[in-house]
Each structure stands twice: as C-alpha cells, then as structure tokens.
Amino acid sequence: MSQTEVFFNTVDSVVKPATLLMLLPRDQTSWCQQEGYNVVHLTYPLPQNSSFKDAMKNVNDKIIALGADWGLLTYGLTTEDAETLVSKLALSLADLKACSHFCPDAEVTHGFLMKDSQRRHIPVTFHLASSQEVLHASLLLLEDPANLGYSLPTHSRLPVRVYSYPLVSKSPPFPFSIQPPVSVNVNDKQSLDPYLRSASSLSLTRTLELLKAHLGPHFNLERLWEKHTYYEFIERDAPKTMSTMVTTPYVNHVPTMTGGVGYADLARFYKYHFTTVTPQDFELITVSRTGEAYVDQLKTWPTKFFSVGCDRIVDEMIFKCHHTTEIDYFLPGIAPTGKHIEIAMVGIVAFRGDKLFFEHLYWDQAGILVQLGLLDPSNLPVAGVEVAKKVLDPFGVPSNTLLKRWHESKGLPID
C-alpha cells in the first residue's frame, strides 16, 4: 500500500493552487481536505521497517510534478525525521514558502528551522501543548527580531512564531481529538472539552494566516459576506443565500439560539423564519469591521485589496427597523408592536475557501425588550435605545448612567 496520496484542490475559483505536504496518520486524512490547495499526504509515522528517506524521494517527485510553491504541515514530527526531510527535499526546497508544526516530538529546534538561499528563516509556526516547555523555551529567543541575525522590514511578520495551548495532549497531537471543519456532519458528536475546542480553532486559523500570507489563495471575504447579506436582506432569496455557504454550514443567533445546523435545517430557517419576516423598513449600518490589507500576487484583484482576517470577518453593526412583523430570529413568539427598535450587534463570520462556514451573531437582547416595553429597566442594569446610540456615537452619550455608585468616586485621585 502506498504511503503517499494526493488530494486535489476543490475550489473552482483557485486556478493555480499551491501545494501542501502534510505528514499525519492515515486515519487523519480528513485534515488533508484543505480548500484552495493541492495536498500531498505522507502517512506518518511510517510503518516499521519503512525508510523515511525513500518515502521522501517519492514525496519530492510529487511536489515537483505539481509545479507550484508549497508549504509543509507536520504532526508529531521527530527531530531525526525533520533533519532527513530537509536533506531529501533539496530539489524543491527553493519553492518551500511556509511551515507549520503541530506538537513536534522534539526538545530542540534542530531540523525544524529551515533557511532560504539568503540564509533567512523560511516562515514557520509551532503549535505546542503547554507541557512542551523545553521546546517552547528553546524557541522563545527567535520570536525577538534582534536574535534572527538579519534585519526585517517594518511591514514583515516575524518568521518564527510559537503558540502554546493549555490542557491539550502532546501525543497524539491535539488536532486529532476533534474533526476538521471540512468533515463535520450534522449528527457528529465531538468532544466538548473547551480547551481542546479552543486550541483546535485557534491553531487552524493561525495556520491559515501563515499559509495565506505566503502561499495564498486570497479571497475577497468582504465581497463574499456582502453577497450573502444581499441575498438575505435585499433579494430575500433563501436558495441564493444558501449558495454562498458550504455544504454543512451553521448559523447561531446566540441570544435566541435561532438559526440552524446543516444545510437542510438552515435552508428551512432562512426560507420560513428569516428572509420572509424581516421588516421592510430595516436598516443595517456597519460600525466597524476587522481588516487586513493583502498584496495580490496573482493579480486576480487590483494590486491591493481589503480582505478581512484570513478566514473570518468580525462585523459590528446597528440594526434598525419598526417591529411590524414577528421577527422570528430576534423576537420569536412576540407579536408585532409597531415600535421602532435599534439594536447593537456583532457578527463573527467564518469561511472555508470561498464559502461561508458559520455565523455567530450576538446582540443586546435586553435592550430590545426594554424598547418594546417588555422588560422594566428601573431596577436592572439594562438600557434601551441608548445602547445602540452609544455604539454609534460614543462621545455623544454619557457613560456609567447605570452605575449607581458612579458619584462616589467623583473628585477622588486617579493617579
């Protein structure tokens, strides 16, 4: 049985995908389905009596045949194999642009830090369990540009980055304890361990940040998000809205737990409980949006364009409307009151490739209820429309109006 397998890019909009070499066990190949990349998978660790040197020769041939810049992702790589990997990839090492190592089985950096022809570090990210203190300590000096041995342009990111994750396993590497987003199904039961979920989510985003910075592909996430909201609110077309999402998406409106998990559930929600119930006079005002400028090396967009993070958008918004319909997602079960409401809200929107994966939406539910007269704010630390107005005009609406003890500190020293 071959120890090497190729997974081809599945994103149609990526014309010339970069290549990822991934070293991980055969039963973890779902991690190889990376949108926007061709992936060469080497089963690792190799079976007993197999030659790592011979395996790398085969890998090298496949990387060269794919003919593109490439990146390296390893899981539990040993120091000995790291040294062999470098020596046996000499032909294509010039095209290696980035490396990411999960829980390497090592206590020293030798073999894991590669340099290009100018003796500069090939960008690398380490994801370590907090128990890997010795390896972490050996890498700390390299997170200081003064210790690199060469100067960095002010706009450059650090070539060596190290992240440590508490209370997760070193062996097997912690990502193996949770399914990758691409393989999640509606009825799957995954670990609810908060540290494991946090580590898996953060490490995936940090790896994508590295890969997209040096290999692409760069998707215009703002444009994709705005297309999605146009179908939601302007055309009010559920099938078109769903066409902007992956095959197993989810939406969670956190205060009311409305939305859906999986295509069928979410399509039903959009068709009958979202697009048809939004009041006609709604306004959606963007207050702020996370952003990062990328230089487009493929020239598929203008020379520079405004992308938003590497795999997600964070949108701060104000939603305004008259409560003329039963708004299932904001106020399920509440009959229309006709009153005007203004809502401060935040959306976290994640992407896989060029499709939306999930939305988490948070808003001030107490503020809505106060505005509709359904919640008495007199003895509670909540407010009504002032909450939204202060988000839009932070200097125009006073702070601490709900803080009954605010007067007690007046005139007291502040330094």
The full length of the chain comes to: 415
Q: How far lies 381's CA from each of 18, 214, 305, 369, 376, in Å?
A: 53, 48, 42, 13, 10
At residue 303 the predicted structure's pLDDT band, cuts being 50, 70 and 90, is very low
Q: Across-strand partners of 314?
A: 348
Secondary structure letter of residue 170 according to DSSP: T
How many C-beta atoms lie closer than 10 Å to residue 304's C-beta? Answer: 10
Express as a percent the part of the chain with pLDDT over 70: 93
Host H or E run for residue 198? helix 194-215
Residue 72 has pLDDT above 80, yes or no: yes
At residue 54 the predicted structure's pLDDT band, cuts being 50, 70 and 90, is confident
Express as a percent the part of the chain with pLDDT over 90: 75
- How many whole angstroms separate alpha carbon 185 and alpha carbon 128? 28
| Single-letter amino acid code for the residue at 253 | H
Flag whether the pTM goes above 0.85: yes
Q: Which domains does the chain have, with CATH numbers?
A: 4-215 (3.40.50), 221-392 (3.10.450.50)
How many C-beta atoms lie closer than 10 Å to residue 131's C-beta? Answer: 17
What pLDDT is attached to residue 57?
A: 86
- How many whole angstroms separate alpha carbon 378 and alpha carbon 374? 12
Cα four-point dihedral sign 212, 214, 215, 221 = positive
Which residues lie below 8 Å from residue 233, measured CB to CB, with a gap of 6+? 275, 278, 282, 284
- How many whole angstroms separate alpha carbon 387 and alpha carbon 363? 10
The residue-averaged pLDDT of 187-198 equals: 82
Contact 101, 130 (CB under 8 A): no
Q: What does pLDDT average to over the chain?
A: 90
